């Protein structure tokens, strides 16, 4: 019998995420049935989207809310197979699956994954290190790629604004867009992140959104107006984008982290979408799973030869997971936040 | 020398439109220069969009605001040519152009029209009566048709909700969508309008939005959820639609009349666009002028054989224009509101 250490939610946060809202528990795993595997998890993911599930019910269409005092299902995780009764999944191979925030999991590869991505999948470690599959070659890369795809920016021309651009998704968006030939302007919330965007990510312009009114900052970096906006923030960021968009501009609605810990405020100037013929496309990366292979083929060589700048905020030990989530929500992490178990 | 009677704005409304904010003035027209024509106007249009231009500045990308104490340019109008020095525009022919809310206009057919539609154009009166070109065969028809086109609803399947469905655009949207095979649910603000939608427009279901919470009314008429929403209202209507949309649903942002006379409120649940992979497309009919001929070819036969139900609120005499606009904004008109000059 194998035991697993696993995080449970004991209380939904009312505002900020705090460590005491979670409890680290021991759970007994079922025996490995025919067709199943036992995985020892080595890396697990910390995403802004988890915050949306720390509620009695998650937004419609989104991943399910985490029930209280139950293991948290549906979090992308990388691990090594320790026992296998499933063909094509040999012991010792590195895989991803969706039973994260715990030390071990018994996985049924035939069970439909809740997030479209996280069926058990063997990872090619010759192509990239294991944890890259939680970042550029995983959900982050897919979200970045799909978000540019749905607004036809991959084959487009013009100026793109990326908000929360030093984040795991944002920094990939900036780079994919640059490689695709767009002019990219980026924003972040600290001067250090802005410097990284300018110097390492290679955006055309970057600014700290806390330094002044967004409308003025945007006019300064993109006097030609915006043709595309990749929204990771929502709220006043989205309003500023609508103001700055050129006619026929397109907006990718990826996330609105500014709203996750308080009551959302809708864009008061949404009528500009009508007057300027704008398109706003909401999307979840996992709804575009067929793009995964294309994305990996495109990004893996850039990652291998060092052209793709990529940062990780790695927290050591499963016990650090809630603190990592709290730090990420507060903007204290850079790049992809993950836990080394 | 020809004189024209013309409305001017003397004061921008702060809230409701009132008659005293306008003044009917006499203006002297220029001589008809080479290439120009003199038109005696016979019908002029009253649209919700005019309200957006009764401000110091109109929304970006939209038609220009009306300057104070100047003839109001850029309002679609039908008339008869009385003098012509332009080839292809013989005296006596019926035309449309964009110099409405006045009795006469000198028009340069070569001048780019501000709204894409309203260059001088000879109208085919064998196909439809003159005033139909201010309604189903004009900007209204184009707006309805383009709004369904941009969300791929003309070739789509599923359920469409149309708000302000008894309006000039809304009632056309309902009918084009029904002819295209969609299930159509419609809302309006009086029981009389709702009965008309059910009995004459032939929608699958209709409800009075004032009768109860929108979310409940929508669940009752469309328990299967919405695949498309044609938004003429904005505000809480748009929020209710986002709530009721199925995954991958599409929203046509045509107008938000609920916001035109007060501070706009953005949809607080816009994150549902992300979680449900929704697309929101703002559009102006005039940005899709190439669809005009296609729309007219499709709608004219339906209009001729009586299949297209169509109502007009006709106000007599140019002097009634501000009252007509005020009535329309307050929901006291049905169908296309226009002035017989």
What's the pLDDT band for B334 if we cut at 50, 70, 90?
A: confident
Say which residue, A259 or B19, is predicted with more confidence. Answer: B19
**Low-confidence residues of chain A: pLDDT under 50:** none
User: Mapped to the 3 state alphabet, what secondary structure does chain A carry?
Assistant: CCEEEEEEECCCCCCCCCHHHEEEEEEECCCCCCCCEEEEEEEEEECHHHHHHCCCCCCCCCCCCCCECCECCCECEEEEEEEECCCCCCCCCEEEECECCECEEEECCCCCCCCCCCCCEECCCCCCCHHHHHCCCCHHHHHHHHHHHHCCCCCCCCEEEECCCCEHHHHHHHHHHHHCCCEEEEEECCHHHHHHHHHHHCCCEEEEHHHCCHHHHHHHHCCCCEEEEEECCCHHHHHHHHHHEEEEEEEEECCCHHHCCCCCCECCCCHHHHHCCCEEEECCHHHHHHHHHHHHHHHHHHHHCCCCCCCEEEEECHHHHHHHHHHHHCCCCCEEEEEEC
Q: Which domains does chain A have, with CATH numbers?
A: 3-134+311-340 (3.90.180.10), 139-286 (3.40.50.720)
- Percentage of chain B exceeding pLDDT 70: 96
pLDDT at position A64 is 87
Backbone angles phi, psi at B71, to 5 degrees: -55, 145
At residue B255, the pLDDT reads 85
pLDDT at residue B335 in the model: 85
pLDDT, mean over chain B: 93
pLDDT at A58: 86
DSSP E strands in chain B: the ranges are 3-9, 22-28, 37-46, 77-84, 94-97, 104-107, 121-122, 159-162, 183-188, 205-208, 226-231, 245-253, 279-282, 312-316, 336-340
Please report the pLDDT score of residue B254 as a whole number. Answer: 95
Q: What is the pLDDT of residues B179-208, one digit of tens each?
A: 999 999 999 999 999 999 999 999 999 999
Give the per-residue pLDDT at B38. Answer: 97
Q: Note whether A270 contacts B269, CB cutoff 8 Å.
A: no
pLDDT the model gives residue B29: 95
Are the beta carbons of A282 and B266 separated by less than 8 Å? no
Of A62, A273, A287, which has the smallest distance from its Cβ to B282's Cβ? A273
Provide the pLDDT for residue A110.
81
Question: How many angstroms away from the CA of B60 is the closest CA of chain A?
Answer: 7
Report pLDDT for B121: 92
Distance CA A90, CA A109 (A): 13
Q: Is B199 on the interface with A (CB under 8 A)?
A: no
Determine the distance in angstroms separating the CA of B279 from the nearest CA of chain A, rounded to an integer: 4
**pLDDT value at residue B178:** 97
- Total CB pairs under 8 A between chain A and B: 144
pLDDT at B115 over 80: no
Distance of CA A229 to the CA centre of its chain: 17
Out of A263, A269, A279, name the one closest to residue B279 (CB).
A279
Q: What is the pLDDT of residues B225-252, one digit of tens each?
A: 999 999 999 999 999 999 999 999 999 9
B290 CB near a chain A CB, below 8 Å? no
What residues in A contact B234, CB-CB < 8 Å?
270-271
CB contact under 8 A, B60 and A274: no
Instruction: Give percent above pLDDT 90 in chain B.
Output: 82
* Mutual angle of helices A292-304 and A168-179, in 10-degree steps: 80
Position B117 scores a pLDDT of 62
Report the DSSP beta bridge partners of residue B78: B43, B96
The residues, ordered by sequence, that sit 6+ positions from A323 with a Cβ below 8 Å of its Cβ are A19, A315
ipTM for the predicted complex comes to 0.90
Kindly report the nearest CA distance between residue B35 and chain A, in angstroms.
32
Query: What is the per-residue pLDDT for B49?
Result: 87
- What pLDDT does B127 receive? 93
How many angstroms separate the CA atoms of B122 and B114, rounded? 18
Chain B hits for A273, CB-CB cut-off 8 Å, are 253, 280-282
């Amino acid at each position: 019998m194998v035991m697993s250490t696993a995080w449970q939610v004991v209380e939904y946060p009312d505002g900020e995420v705090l460590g005491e809202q979670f409890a680290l528990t021991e759970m007994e795993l079922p025996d490995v049935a025919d067709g199943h595997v036992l995985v020892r998890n080595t890396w697990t993911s910390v995403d802004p989207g988890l915050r949306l599930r720390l509620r009695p019910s998650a937004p419609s269409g989104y991943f399910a809310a985490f029930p209280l005092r139950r293991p948290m299902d549906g979090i992308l995780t990388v691990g090594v197979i320790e026992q296998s009764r499933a063909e094509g999944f040999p012991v010792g191979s590195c895989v991803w699956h969706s039973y994260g925030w715990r030390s071990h999991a018994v996985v049924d590869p035939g069970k439909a994954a809740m997030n479209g991505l996280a069926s058990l999948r063997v990872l090619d470690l010759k192509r990239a290190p294991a944890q890259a599959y939680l970042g550029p070659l995983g959900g982050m890369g897919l979200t970045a790629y799909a978000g540019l795809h749905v607004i036809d920016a991959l084959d487009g021309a013009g100026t793109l604004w990326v908000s929360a651009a030093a984040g795991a998704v944002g920094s990939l968006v900036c780079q994919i867009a640059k490689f695709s030939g767009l002019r990219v302007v980026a924003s972040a919330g600290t001067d250090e992140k802005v410097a990284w965007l300018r110097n390492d990510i290679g955006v055309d312009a970057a600014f700290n959104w806390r330094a002044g009114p967004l409308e003025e900052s945007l006019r300064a970096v993109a006097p030609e107006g915006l043709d595309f906006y990749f929204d990771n923030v929502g709220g006043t960021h989205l309003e500023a984008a609508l103001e700055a968009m050129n006619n026929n501009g397109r907006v990718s609605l990826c996330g609105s982290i500014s709203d996750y810990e308080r009551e959302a405020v809708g864009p008061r100037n949404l009528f500009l979408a009508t007057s300027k013929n704008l398109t706003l496309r909401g999307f979840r990366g996992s709804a575009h799973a067929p793009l995964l292979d294309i994305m990996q083929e495109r990004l893996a060589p850039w990652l291998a030869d060092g052209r793709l700048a990529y940062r990780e905020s790695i927290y050591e030990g499963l016990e650090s997971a809630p603190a990592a989530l709290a730090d990420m929500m507060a903007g204290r992490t850079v790049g992809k936040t993950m836990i080394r178990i």
